[in-house]
Amino acid sequence: MYPMRLGKMVVHLLDSLNMLNLMPFRSIHMNKPIFVWIKSLKFSANLPTANCELISSNSLVNAITSAEIARNCQASHGFAQMILSHDYQGNTVICAIKAISTKCTEQQYIQMVNSVHDHRDILVGRFLRLLSYVTLNELQPFVDFILNKDEILKLFMNSEASYKHHHSYKGGLFEHSIEVAEMTYQNARHLGHSNVECQTGLIAALFHDIGKIYPALNTNNVKYCPGPHESYAFALLAKPLGELGTSNSRIFSMLSDLLAVKPYGHKTRYAIEHILKLADRTSAESNFAKSQFKALPADYYFTKVNGDLIYRLNNQ
């Protein structure tokens, strides 16, 4: 099923910061954190090491780490974020592991990575990490809904967010929704909002545009189709919203208000609505601005759009 990449690793020393000092004789490059699925994590019988079999970028990888790092991650299988490093001999070593709780199964994870446009497993990882932040029992039906509705999830991951404005490409809706949810949740936390507000804001942000896939569910046309997507969202989310309304009317009222269309003269009832609104606009305008430079040479630092100049700074 997967191409096999085997790496033999030697662990020489553990430092006080729970990281590995890998030596063969020269320094090695530390990679950025990546999302993986741990298939197994087994301790060595006679050495202070552990062997790990994991799925990364749709490949099966064998790696090694220290016994201490393996113990501290408190998971022998499942979804995780890792820092991997390679020495000059091609050996792969796990330098850090952070287990991430998820209701997703290994098979679902593989299906999502294979289904998302361009197999962008980083988006799947960010999506599952967002769902892991939802710990309130009242909001669990929304997590179950999106993970267990295969057709809806596939469309959510592969649809456009708009016709010609922002994220107007396959997979754009998924990317935009993740960006808005990440900014809403993190900004709400930094600004001292309660845990229930942060999690409700996350759910509202993640699903604020899900109604855009509603026409595709009822037609053979998967292209972006303008329509009252806020109203469509309530149709798609009817079941989890109904369960929430039964279990906690106050959270239901807040979430419904955040998801609803805002008519002219609308007065904000919840402070977190400002955070969600700005996150939505930031994601959209940032993507639109970057798209205007896509076909231009790297050294172009401004362009004109509808008579207005847009500037950028590139790395020298």
HEC sequence for 138-206? HHHHHHHHHHHCHHHHHHHHHCCCCCCCCCCCCCHHHHHHHHHHHHHHHHHHHCCCCHHHHHHHHHHHH
CATH number of the domain located at residue range(s) 4-99 in this protein: 2.40.50.100
Best CATH choice for the domain 106-309 from the list 1.10.3210, 2.40.50, 1.10.8, 3.40.50: 1.10.3210
In this structure, the chain runs to a length of 316
The span from the CA of 287 to the CA of 224, in Å, is 17
Q: Which residue has the tokens 């994991």?
A: 54
Structure tokens at 247: 């279990």
Q: How far is CA 203 from the centre of its chain?
A: 13
pLDDT at residue 316, as a whole number: 63
Q: Specify the domain boundaries for CATH 1.10.3210 within the chain.
A: 106-309
Supply the pLDDT for residue 28: 36
Per-residue pLDDT of the chain (316 residues; tens, 9 = 90+): 444 343 333 333 333 223 333 333 233 335 789 999 999 999 988 889 899 999 998 889 999 999 999 999 888 899 999 999 886 777 789 999 999 999 999 999 999 999 887 767 899 999 999 999 999 999 999 999 999 999 999 999 998 887 778 888 888 999 999 999 999 999 999 999 999 999 999 999 999 999 999 888 887 766 766 667 788 899 999 999 999 999 999 999 999 999 998 777 788 889 999 999 999 999 999 988 888 888 788 888 888 877 888 888 887 6
Burial of 289 (0-12, 13-18, 19+ CB in 10 A): middle
CB 50 within 8 A of CB 43: yes
Q: Where in the chain is the domain with CATH 2.40.50.100?
A: 4-99
Buried b (16+ CB within 10 A) or exposed e, 292-310: ebeeeeeeeeeeeeeeeee
pTM of the model: 0.85
Q: How far is 311 from 289, CA to CA, in rounded Å?
A: 9
**Collapsed DSSP state (helix, strand, coil) of residue 224:** coil
Q: What radius of gyration, in Å, describes the C-alpha atoms of the chain?
A: 22
Contact, 81 vs 102, CB < 8 A?
no
**Cα 293 from Cα 68, distance rounded (Å):** 47
